[in-house]
Structure 1
Amino acid sequence: MTAIARFGAVSFDSSDPRLLGRFYRDLLEFDLRYESDHLVVLVGGGVTITVEHVADHRPPDWPGNDVPKQMHLDLLVDDLDSAEAAAIEHGAVRAEFQPVPDRWRVLIDPAGHPFCLALAPDTAG
């Protein structure tokens, strides 16, 4: 079987990406690759972490589940259309809301978790 995508990043939702990005940068000694009010990208140990701004972010209520845990996978692909079709064939569902469908696609896994298929940085133009 040929992989549909390559692991891209673990992405955390946050009302303050810079603050959470600094926390993980310092905790893990990762390199800061990009920082804005909307997105922070950290890289280290062969792993990429992104922290993405969510305006109405509510922290999870561990160990409860009234507000579930919040993170998603970014999976890198070379062709969004073919990767999306293959993921759907394997049981994913295309999310109704697509913020930037020419750069990434939001899909929902069979358990209801969102994940993104994203163009690899070298193909994202």
Structure 2
Amino acid sequence: MSLQMKLVAITLDCPDPPALAAFYQQATGLEPHPKSDADFAALNGEHGLFIGFQRVDDYRAPKWPGQTVPQQLHICFEVDGDLAEAEARLLELGAGRPDHQPHGDRARVLTDPVGHPFCITAR
């Protein structure tokens, strides 16, 4: 018998779960999970997958692309429309843009407000 597993959640460490959930909610339009609180917040994603954010004392942001503090997780999102417009909107919401951009014009590497790297690509 083969094991069948379904991915249901991705959870990121952070210093302030509600604040990071708000960033991703504005960026994705996902709805807040009803069980969110100050120590754990989540957004309901597509197909039953949710993104969680858990409070970690003494949180240290990843240092991408270096590995002095490893990235631990890298999320990729597809965006509708112009990639540059999507990037500009995410920067307005508080994302950062590292100097190192390994994908040329195909994708952009950004960081969320607490340093987790993520990519955006055109749909």
* C-alpha deviation, 1:6, in angstroms: 2.1
Find 1:64's aligned residue among 50, 63, 66.
66
CA contact (8 A) 1:15 1:56 kept: yes
Equivalent residues in 2 for 1:1-125, closer than 5 Å: 1-33=1-33, 34-46=35-47, 47-71=49-73
Count of matched residue pairs: 72
Task: Give the TM-score of the pair, scaled to structure 1.
Answer: 0.52
Query: In the aligned structure 2, how far is the partner of 1:69 from the partner of 1:18?
Result: 21
Query: In the aligned structure 1, how far is the partner of 2:21 from the partner of 2:3?
Result: 30
RMSD: 1.9
Letter in 1 for 2:20: L
**What percentage of residue pairs aligned between the two structures are identical?**
31
Cα deviation, 1:12-53, whole Å, max 9, x if unaligned, reads: 110111110000111100010132111011112223100011
Letter in 1 for 2:65: P
Q: Which runs of 5+ in 2 are unaligned?
A: 75-123
> 1:83 — aligned with what?
none
Query: In the aligned structure 2, how far is the partner of 1:12 from the partner of 1:45?
Result: 17
Q: Which runs of 5+ in 1 are unaligned?
A: 73-125
Query: In the aligned structure 2, how far is the partner of 1:2 from the partner of 1:28?
Result: 34
Query: In the aligned structure 2, how far is the partner of 1:61 from the partner of 1:55?
Result: 18
Report the structure, 1 or 2, having the larger strand content.
1
1:70/1:52 Cα in 2 relative to 1: closer, same or farther (>3 Å)? farther
